[in-house]
Amino acid sequence: MSASPTPGVSSPSPRLHWMDRVRHFWQRVSEGRRIDDLWSQFAADARSSYGFYGRDVDWEEIRKLPYWRQPLHLAKEFFWALLLKMSPARRVLLLVALVMLLVSGFRSDVNFEIVAAILFLLLLSLELADKVTMKRDLEIAREIQTWLVPSQPPEVTGANIAFATRPQNSVAGDYYDAFYPNPEDREKLMVVIADVAGKSVPAALLMATLQASLRTIAGENAPLADLVARLNRYACAHSLNGMRFTTAVLGEYNTASRRLTYVNAGHNAPILRRANGAVETLEAGGLPLGIRLDRPYETASLELRPGDALILFTDGVVEAFNESGEEFGNERWLGAIRSLPDWDASQTLQFLMQRVDEFVGATRQSDDITCLVFRSR
């Protein structure tokens, strides 16, 4: 016997039930994000894809053409850039789907467009499967890479340190570190920031070997000049004739004398902002590691006084760009450093990274962004 509706209680209308389903579907698809957030993400993805495929376009050749021929030629170049990044079998699948889509406009008795849609969906599923597999592997690589850099800065007498990194991909070619080569000797602290040429997995692998070599040599209590020379010999042996070089700044800080001895191996010069507002750059050194085996490296030293802030960073900071393609640049970065409040390292880092974030907005970057702040107290 079926239950009768309770008197005075109305059942949900079919329209409300249908709207709940639509709302649930949209929530699941959009992950609760607003329309403007979704559009910003799409615009960032579109700009990134344009730059990715645009690297294979012969822009000089296109500019030589009459303006009325340029759009068609550009479309053809982008099509070939996309096509050649697929496997041969998938290229054929895409071409067959496109032909069927074109034929469907002339033949109405056969549903070629349905077959074309199925082929497009099949192609999308194959590409998506590859991406998900690769993403999972990169996430594992990223987890391993996080073991190679400190999760927390070491405690330093009379100073504090903070660092942050934002990989352009799941794995990065930037490296930063601050450690005591001899855990029992708290007077000698190594401070390092480095940037391996290239991106993604190849750069990350070379970064891992650099970290291992540095830790090993530093643990032998080698003088800084000798340490850099040995790192350069190793880098030259694995640089593919200079193609896989590494820029780096390596420093030894004596906590008792507050003296920093450093070498700048072709890296962006760190900026020292004195407590009185004066600004200095740390440029002494030589070529990037892995370029020339016979080039010596110059060392220099300076004293850090209470209130001084030393900023080490990679080129991804100053080369960060907004949606218009305008770079953040050295002048903006220097202006942010000049205007630093008298804060600790963590707050200083947050202040600087916020200046970069406000400039780039939601624009996806093409390089890793890493910054290390050493603040003397």
One digit per residue, the tens of pLDDT, for the chain of length 377 reads 445 555 555 555 666 678 888 888 888 888 888 888 888 778 777 877 887 888 888 888 888 888 888 889 899 998 998 899 899 999 999 999 898 888 877 766 667 888 888 999 999 898 888 888 777 776 776 677 677 788 899 999 999 999 998 877 656 678 899 999 998 888 999 999 999 886 667 777 788 888 889 999 998 988 999 999 999 998 888 776 667 889 999 999 999 999 999 999 999 999 999 999 999 999 999 999 999 888 889 999 999 999 999 999 999 999 999 888 899 999 999 999 999 998 999 999 999 999 999 999 878 787 888 999 999 98
With a CB cutoff of 8 Å and minimum separation 6, the contacts of 69 are none
Paired tokens of 369: 């962004």
With a CB cutoff of 8 Å and minimum separation 6, the contacts of 124 are none
Are 318 and 273 in contact, with CB atoms under 8 Å apart?
no
Q: What is the pLDDT of residue 166?
A: 83
Q: Which residue has the tokens 């780039």?
A: 360
With a CB cutoff of 8 Å and minimum separation 6, the contacts of 117 are none
Pick the CATH number of 148-376 from 3.40.228.10, 3.10.450.240, 3.40.50.460, 3.60.40.10: 3.60.40.10
With a CB cutoff of 8 Å and minimum separation 6, the contacts of 317 are 268, 328, 333, 356, 369, 370, 371
Least Cα distance to 53 among 29, 80, 31, 28 occurs for 80
The domain ranges of the chain are 38-144, 148-376
User: Strands 259-265 and 285-286: what pairing?
Assistant: parallel
Q: What is the pLDDT of residue 190?
A: 96
Alpha carbons 323 and 359: distance in angstroms, whole number: 9
* Total-model pTM: 0.72
Alpha carbons 119 and 243: distance in angstroms, whole number: 41
Q: Which residue has the tokens 């592997």?
A: 137
Q: Give the CB-side neighbour count of residue 3, counting CA atoms within 13 A.
A: 3
